[in-house]
């Protein structure tokens, strides 16, 4: 029964006029493009009935006398699988989700609340960028959002979900957040659209080719996760949240699942091919080490020579960084270094311990890599591991050569526990390269160079490229039986539970950008 006393009458009327803004046409316009409306997205993301909208009745600039509410964005708070979150969802049906002054103020308000209260914030983006009609005021609105993104960085998780266009200014807030999700065929991100590209460069391109989900998930690496439709995209966001703490002073949620995975696992000993130059899929190794079905890979299709993702080990969340021998032999190149460095820094910000699985023949050589500054980009990964104070464990599975050995959380870079499998090869370089330099003259003068080469390689492996030299010098803490990897790591992380390490006080470091 409605209470019709005067104050309540007005209360009900207002609520009704909010809902009556949405007619059939409103829904059809989004649905016909395979998209949900802003409100439907929130309903799908949040726990049933948990969403509380704030600022629903604010009016757009210059429309204070009209019954026109919201200014194209819905903001509020609620829960996702019981976790408190703040959310904003842009409404493309109102002026293309463009960002006007009031629209910006609403987003900034929930950003400030999320930061003050220490909860994650999720942005559902569907926007044509700065609202052209409001001019510099809308640019200032973006500036306010970006500043808030930067203040919140490393304090609360910030997740951007691109569910339509993100054009112009709309791209930079997602870029400043921790993760970007996109939906295939209906979402795209670009600083300038195809028309501007044509005008300035006389190049023909399409939305999809310029900034579609596929392009950003593979080539640019801007999108961390892409899905076939909006529902799956939002389910992906829910899953990601389940691994994250609410802020940088909390620890990630711990599950209490019994029977998470077998302890000793003989399959691990059989995964590596006999020939050390043959590839294998490191994801198989990860899955045999972490809790069953807990590996959540991130940026799966970009820089595939390195694998990153969140997982659970004995119910505790960890971040995994692993070289992928089946792509470019697991070499570290520019993209892989950037991908892993950013992930390491994310984990360190949010108290997520790091597990490194190493099988890396070195940095990627070549003119293109050098001219595009592999020196600076490779240094990002060095910087990230050296700076990280969370528990850090490395297991060398096979190759650990040269600079890449050092980078991948080696003992002297601050690894807390460094283990190696008996198959590990730790050296300055691989046998072929080393004997060419060390034995050039003998090989040139040999009667049977092939036979000499075979002998020298065998000697090098026996005396240099194995785990035992490093173990005997203390650069590795223990050579372990692969089948015991899971138990050994669980035990090591348990020992590290009370780890306290601080970097020197400073304004901030100067990471090589």
- The residues that touch ligand HXC, with contacts defined as CB under 6 A, are 95-96, 98, 128-133, 139, 142, 165, 167-169, 172, 193
Q: How far is the CB of 390 from ligand HXC (least distance, A)?
A: 33
Q: How far is the CB of 30 from ligand HXC (least distance, A)?
A: 11
Q: How far is the CB of 32 from ligand HXC (least distance, A)?
A: 11
Q: Is 404 a catalytic residue?
A: yes
- C-alpha dihedral sign at 303, 163, 32, 93: negative
CA distance 128 to 73: 13
**Nearer residue to ligand HXC within complex by CB, 193 or 330:** 193
Q: How far is the CB of 363 from ligand HXC (least distance, A)?
A: 34
CA distance 359 to 482: 14
CA distance 80 to 119: 11
**Nearer residue to ligand HXC within complex by CB, 145 or 328:** 145
Looking only at the bridges linking them, the beta strands covering 188-190 and 225-227 are unpaired
Q: How far is the CB of 176 from ligand HXC (least distance, A)?
A: 11
Q: How far is the CB of 223 from ligand HXC (least distance, A)?
A: 18
**Nearer residue to ligand HXC within complex by CB, 121 or 167:** 167
Q: How far is the CB of 68 from ligand HXC (least distance, A)?
A: 13
Residue corresponding to tokens 């490229």: 465
Catalytic residue among 96, 97, 168, 309: 168
Q: How far is the CB of 96 from ligand HXC (least distance, A)?
A: 2
**Nearer residue to ligand HXC within complex by CB, 223 or 340:** 223
CB 234 within 8 A of CB 161: yes
**Nearer residue to ligand HXC within complex by CB, 129 or 362:** 129
Residue 253 DSSP code: P
Q: Provide the β-strand partners of residue 478.
A: 419
Q: How far is the CB of 193 from ligand HXC (least distance, A)?
A: 5
**Nearer residue to ligand HXC within complex by CB, 76 or 212:** 212
CA distance 303 to 421: 25
Structure token pair of residue 197: 């590209």
Residues 6+ apart with CB under 8 A from 18: 56, 57, 69, 70
CB 304 within 8 A of CB 221: no
Q: How far is the CB of 347 from ligand HXC (least distance, A)?
A: 28
Residue 215 DSSP code: H
Q: Which of these, 372, 237, 370, 439, lies nearest to 226 by C-alpha position?
A: 237
**Nearer residue to ligand HXC within complex by CB, 106 or 131:** 131
CB 330 within 8 A of CB 404: no
CA distance 71 to 94: 7
**Nearer residue to ligand HXC within complex by CB, 139 or 511:** 139
**Nearer residue to ligand HXC within complex by CB, 139 or 496:** 139
Q: Is 403 a catalytic residue?
A: yes
CB 372 within 8 A of CB 338: no
Catalytic residue among 114, 303, 388, 404: 404
CA distance 170 to 149: 13
Residues 6+ apart with CB under 8 A from 512: 376, 377, 379, 380, 383
Catalytic residue among 169, 309, 319, 378: 169
- Which strand (E) or helix (H) includes residue 189? strand 188-190
Structure token pair of residue 225: 């996760």
Residue 329 DSSP code: G
Catalytic residue among 118, 154, 402, 403: 403
SS3 506: coil
Residues 6+ apart with CB under 8 A from 141: 99, 100, 101, 103, 104, 105, 108, 130, 134
CA distance 377 to 172: 21
Q: Is 206 exposed, middle or buried (0-12, 13-18, 19+ CB in 10 A)?
A: exposed
Per-residue b or e along 140-167, where b marks 16 or more CB atoms closer than 10 Å to that residue's CB: ebbebbeebbeebbbebbbbbbbbbbbb
SS3 466: strand
**Nearer residue to ligand HXC within complex by CB, 78 or 100:** 100
Active site residues: 168-169, 403-404
């Amino acid at each position: 029964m409605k209470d019709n006393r005067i104050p309540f009458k007005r209360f009900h009327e207002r609520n009704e006029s909010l809902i009556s803004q949405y007619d059939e046409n409103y829904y059809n316009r989004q649905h016909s493009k395979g998209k949900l409306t802003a409100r439907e997205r929130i309903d799908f993301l949040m726990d049933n009935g948990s969403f509380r909208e704030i600022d629903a009745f604010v009016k757009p600039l210059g429309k204070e006398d009209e019954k026109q509410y919201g200014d194209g964005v819905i903001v509020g708070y609620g829960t996702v699988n019981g976790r408190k979150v703040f959310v904003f969802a842009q409404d493309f049906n109102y002026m293309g989700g463009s960002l006007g002054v009031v629209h910006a103020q609403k987003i900034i308000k929930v950003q400030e609340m999320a930061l003050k209260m220490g909860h994650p914030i999720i942005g559902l983006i569907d926007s044509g960028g700065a609202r052209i009609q409001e001019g510099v005021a809308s640019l200032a609105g973006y500036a306010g959002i970006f500043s808030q993104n930067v203040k919140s960085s490393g304090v609360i998780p910030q997740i951007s979900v691109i569910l339509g266009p993100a054009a112009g200014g709309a791209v930079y807030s997602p870029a400043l957040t921790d993760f970007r999700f996109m939906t295939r065929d209906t979402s795209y991100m670009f600083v300038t659209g195809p028309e501007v590209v044509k005008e300035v460069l006389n190049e023909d391109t399409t939305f999809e080719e310029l900034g579609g989900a596929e392009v950003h998930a593979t080539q640019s690496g801007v999108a961390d996760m892409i899905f076939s439709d909006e529902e799956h995209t939002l389910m992906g966001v829910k899953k990601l949240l389940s691994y994250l703490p609410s802020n940088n002073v909390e620890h990630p949620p711990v599950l209490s699942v019994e029977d998470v995975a077998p302890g000793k696992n003989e399959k691990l000993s059989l995964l590596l091919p006999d020939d050390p130059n043959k590839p294998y899929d490191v994801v198989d190794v990860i899955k045999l080490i972490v809790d069953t079905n807990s590996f959540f890979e991130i940026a799966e299709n970009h820089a595939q020579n390195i694998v990153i993702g969140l997982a659970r080990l004995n119910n505790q969340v960890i971040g995994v960084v692993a070289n992928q021998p089946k792509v470019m032999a697991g070499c570290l190149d520019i993209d892989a270094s950037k991908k892993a460095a950013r992930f390491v820094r994310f984990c360190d910000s949010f108290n997520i311990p790091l597990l490194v699985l190493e099988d890396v023949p070195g940095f990627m050589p070549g003119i293109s890599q050098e001219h595009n500054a592999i020196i600076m980009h490779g240094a990002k990964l060095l910087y990230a591991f050296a700076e990280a104070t969370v528990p850090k464990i490395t297991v060398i599975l096979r190759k650990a050569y040269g600079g890449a050995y050092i980078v991948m959380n080696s003992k002297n870079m601050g690894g807390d526990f460094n283990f190696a499998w008996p198959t590990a090869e730790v050296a300055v370089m691989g046998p072929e390269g080393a004997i060419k330099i060390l034995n050039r003259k003998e090989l040139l003068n040999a009667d049977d160079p092939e036979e000499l080469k075979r002998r020298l390689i065998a000697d090098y492996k026996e005396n240099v490229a194995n785990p035992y030299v490093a173990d005997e010098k203390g650069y590795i803490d223990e050579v372990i039986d692969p089948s015991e990897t899971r138990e050994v790591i669980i035990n090591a992380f348990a020992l590290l539970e009370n780890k306290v390490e601080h970097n020197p006080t400073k304004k901030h470091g100067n990471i090589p950008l």
